[in-house]
């Protein structure tokens, strides 16, 4: 049997190093470092301030496009979207601010999705446990557009959490982005309208936008409470699980 030639030591070390760097856990560690670094930059630099007060030395379409790009990057760094949406309305009004906010929302969701898919999915998928987590993974994998649309319409679901949950699932990128744009439009529009009328808080438009946000928030809380109550009713209690009546009765011995 012919002997397999061994690689020289430098090449063998390079191969082992490349395998280590491309391993799922190494990529996941890189994802954690990137997100932590982005959050640290936001805390130190606070780019939301110049987003709210306007981009320097830009105007018109250029400013709107730069705002959408900065919006997407800020959402990846966990800057709250309501703040960015209100800033879009205050800076550019409804007609330009709403497209900029929706474009930034889709861009941020796409960036987070790609980061989670490329760097975190292989490491985290083997650890999916629990009925709720597995049910969410099945819904996103089998009914990607419909499930993502429901997550975006439900205001109680954090934006970043939905992005990375979708990245770990088997949903494709295009349905995810399309559902994100459609599902986020109404809530985003309400914040943009409120921001555009912030100077006149007693105007009917401003009050209507706040009323819409309040109604959706209350509805989300009611749905979440009803869901938790239903799950608690379906789950067996600890007493039922440990009760002797729940244990199987051994078969009677024959005479």
pLDDT at position 16 is 60
**Which residue from 157, 65, 168 is spatially nearest to 107, judged by alpha carbons?**
65
Residues 98 and 192: beta-carbon distance below 8 Å: yes
- The pLDDT score that the predictor gives to residue 9 is 55
Domain that holds residue 167: 23-232
Residue 240 placed within a domain: no
Q: Which phi-psi region, left, alpha or beta, contains residue 78 (left: φ > 0; alpha: ψ -120 to 50)?
A: left
- State yes or no: pLDDT of 255 exceeds 60: no
Residue 54 lies in a domain: yes
In a domain, 255, yes or no: no
pLDDT tens for 42-94 read 777 776 666 666 555 456 788 899 999 999 999 998 888 999 999 999 888 99
Cα separation, 102 vs 98, whole angstroms:
6
- Note whether residue 34 is domain-resident: yes
Q: Is 46 left (phi over 0), alpha (psi -120 to 50) or beta?
A: left
Q: Are 68 and 107 in contact (CB under 8 A)?
A: yes
Whether residue 17 is contained in a domain is answered as no
- Full-model pTM: 0.73
**In angstroms, rounded to a whole number, what is the distance separating the alpha carbons of residues 42 and 112?**
16
pLDDT band for 37, please (50, 70, 90 cuts).
confident
Query: How is the chain split among helix, strand and coil, in percent rounded to 5?
Result: 80, 0, 20
Q: Tell me if 81 sits within 8 A of 75, measured CB to CB.
A: yes
In angstroms, rounded to a whole number, what is the distance separating the alpha carbons of residues 248 and 255?
21
Kindly state whether residue 164 falls inside one of the protein's structural domains: yes
What was the pLDDT predicted at 6? 59
Mean pLDDT of the chain: 77
Q: Please tell me the distance from the alpha carbon of residue 253 to that of residue 54, in angstroms, as a whole number.
A: 85
The tens digit of pLDDT for each residue in 210-220 reads: 887 888 777 76
When divided into structural domains, the chain yields a total of 1
Whether residue 185 lies inside any domain: the answer is yes
């Amino acid at each position: 049997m012919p002997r397999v030639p061994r690689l020289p030591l430098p090449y063998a070390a390079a191969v082992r190093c490349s395998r280590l760097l491309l391993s799922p856990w190494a990529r996941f560690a890189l994802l954690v470092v990137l997100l932590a670094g982005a959050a640290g930059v936001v805390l130190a630099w606070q780019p939301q301030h110049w987003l709210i007060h306007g981009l320097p030395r830009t105007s018109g379409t250029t400013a709107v496009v730069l705002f959408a790009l900065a919006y997407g990057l800020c959402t990846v760094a966990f800057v709250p979207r309501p703040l960015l949406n209100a800033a879009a309305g205050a800076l550019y009004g409804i007609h330009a601010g709403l497209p900029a906010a929706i474009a930034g929302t889709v861009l941020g969701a796409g960036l987070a999705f790609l980061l989670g898919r490329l760097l975190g999915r292989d490491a985290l998928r083997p650890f999916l446990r629990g009925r709720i987590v597995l049910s969410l993974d099945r819904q996103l994998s089998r009914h990607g557009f419909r499930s993502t649309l429901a997550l975006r319409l439900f205001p109680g679901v954090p934006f970043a959490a939905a992005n990375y949950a979708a990245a770990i699932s088997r949903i494709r990128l295009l349905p995810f982005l399309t559902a994100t744009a459609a599902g986020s439009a109404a809530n985003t529009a309400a914040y943009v309208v409120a921001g555009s009328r912030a100077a006149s808080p007693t105007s009917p438009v401003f009050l209507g936008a706040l009323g819409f946000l309040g109604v959706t928030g209350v509805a989300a809380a009611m749905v979440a409470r009803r869901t938790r109550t239903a799950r608690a009713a379906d789950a067996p209690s600890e007493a039922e699980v440990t009760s002797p009546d729940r244990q199987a009765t051994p078969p009677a011995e024959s005479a």
